[in-house]
A and B are shown apart, each in its own frame.
Chain A
């Protein structure tokens, strides 16, 4: 688990802080980005084991960033994490490896991350 690098992308500073603390507590190395474009830039230059991506963000939204990153790094695992619950309708989100509804309870997110990393 040591040395597992996760990029957390969210436009809300406090959300970033929350996820960073929660995930670091789990033993991951956490990097942050505050919008899709920044995430894309970082993802291009670094190898992340996983990216946790919000959808609704300024500059470049999560879906777009997801698609851009997947174009460059086809196997980059990405979890979409958003306030929306009706992700199942949105076919453009299908290329993500998982989807988690944003919640104060981070258990589901952590579980999903673990599952994805284990598969790899």
Chain B
């Protein structure tokens, strides 16, 4: 092929639709075959201002040696050709040892074969793309026309590299956009947070070819404690640096590279690029996103873009987190609402159950009184045999038992009087009860002491129910003291949660509760009294639970028991907090 034919062929290839890599390789092979160069190698100029041996002709043996080291701009002949953008040629006689670069010791043995060398800068008017290196084992000298031809070819290769570069960067942009859109989709879906971050990690590491990606989050609403979602793996010492960087980012509230916080990078970190950016939500910094990439032969998998990319990711995550916070708050709210509704239904049920129970109890009571009453009469009047009178006694006894159960049921289950919940003055309610007991001659030997908090806020409740509970506790106290002793009634805000509960404490001097049975006293039908039903505390507890309060006991064996009833001050305060 003559020079014109060679050039024609090369131009044809460089404008073909082949992939850039194949186009350059094909051009290099043509130069090698048609122009008599055994070595045709292209060094590309990279962002880090170093030259990488990137392409070669098929027969090349030196390529492998050049791959071992990437020379800096200005270093050796290759570096200086790139720097000056001027071609240089040598013969075997005047070529510098190792082509002027000390880091190619193996060249010593290989350069012997070649008689002439040519270095062409690959440039266009403004950019340097690399260096074209040619070596021939047959030519004593490189002719001027060959220099001209190769300089034209170098320009062609430059064109291909330029297009390739554009292609790569736009591909990266597209990739990034695709990643972000994927993230966007993910964040608007309602997956649970851990899964969300795991998936983000997967997407990001895949898209950026990062070695390690980690999200650190500290948010009191979403998470119980600090949490970290990582993808990929790095050596432990890198993790220490990542932590340092994250902390700095947290303080400075801006994206930082490891280089920003350590002017002199330790040797070990040379091969790594690490960027970290804060996740800032309405509540301030709630976390960091950190990405770590390693350097490969061609440079970092991401570098300049790294910063922009994780900024974008952090923005997305911020939005996602805000979204998730809102949805989970909403979910909480709905849950709370459902609970409230359930409680309302429960209360309604209880009330109608109460009414029904009262009615049934009342209806049963009368026939029971008749049965028991006449059994009594039989016992007194009729001349019964020993066995017969035993039977009548059994009837009387069992009726008495049933009666006392009915009495308790009737004490609590009020007949069709459904008092709605409204703000009630607890002190006044207690005063009424105390007044009633003081008026009862059976309570003569009981001294009732009051210790009220005069600033007690009103409580929204069904006061009749609360009265029943207090009366029941007072009756228990009375019974524990066998009708003689002191009952101390104290009201006040709950010490631990003064904004949430008030407390009514009733202390007796009845010697306390046997520790062996204290766990059972709230169980229905548990009683230690001959005529007890064991329903008193069971029903009391149910009533107070239903009001969202609780009953606590302080038991001082040998002295007495304190029953504390906690009533919530605000019903539904939780909801107010959220909205």
Contact = CB atoms under 8 A, between A and B. Distances in A.
Interface stretch (B19-27, B94-102, B239-247, B369-377): B369-377
B370 A103 contact: no
Contacts of A12: 366, 370
Interface string A87-103: 01100000000000111
Interface string A6-19: 00000010110010
A45 interface: no
B467 A89 contact: yes
Contacts of A83: 361-362, 365-366, 369, 406, 410
A58 interface: no
Secondary structure call for the A interface: loop
A85 B374 CA distance: 22
B376 A104 contact: yes
B377 A22 contact: yes
A2 B377 CA distance: 22
Contact of A15 (B370, B403, B436, B467): B370
Contacts of B371: 104
A56 interface: yes
Interface in A67-112: 83-86, 88-89, 101-106
Contacts of A105: 372, 376, 396, 400
> Which of B369, B371, B414, B467 has the most C-beta atoms of chain A within 10 angstroms of its own C-beta?
B369
Interface string B89-112: 000000000000000000000000
Contacts of B369: 15, 18, 83, 102-104
Contact of B375 (A15, A22, A104): A104
A21 interface: yes
B183 interface: no
A73 to B, nearest CB: 24
Given A104-B403, A105-B400, A18 B410 contact: no
B471 A88 contact: yes
A110 B408 CA distance: 23
B404 to A, nearest CB: 9
A85 B377 contact: no
Contact of A101 (B372, B400, B407): B407
Contacts of A18: 369-370, 373-374, 377
A86 B468 contact: yes
A85 B362 contact: no
Contacts of A15: 366, 369-370, 373
B399 A89 contact: no
> Which of A15, A56, A102, A106 has the most C-beta atoms of chain B within 10 angstroms of its own C-beta?
A102
A85 B408 contact: yes
B139 interface: no
A100 B545 CA distance: 32
Nearest to B374: A18
Nearest to B375: A104
Nearest to B406: A83
A83 B410 CA distance: 8
B468 to A, nearest CB: 7
B143 to A, nearest CB: 123
Interface in B289-338: none
- 4 nearest interchain CB pairs? A104-B372, A83-B365, A18-B373, A14-B370
Interface of A: 12, 14-15, 18, 21-22, 56, 83-86, 88-89, 101-106
Interface of B: 361-362, 365-377, 396, 399-400, 403, 406-408, 410-411, 414-415, 436, 464, 467-468, 471
Given A14-B367, A22-B373, A104-B399, 4 more contacts: A14-B374, A21-B377, A83-B410, A106-B373
19 contacts: A12-B366, A12-B370, A14-B374, A15-B369, A15-B370, A21-B377, A22-B377, A83-B365, A83-B369, A84-B362, A85-B407, A85-B410, A85-B411, A86-B410, A88-B436, A103-B369, A104-B372, A105-B372, A105-B400
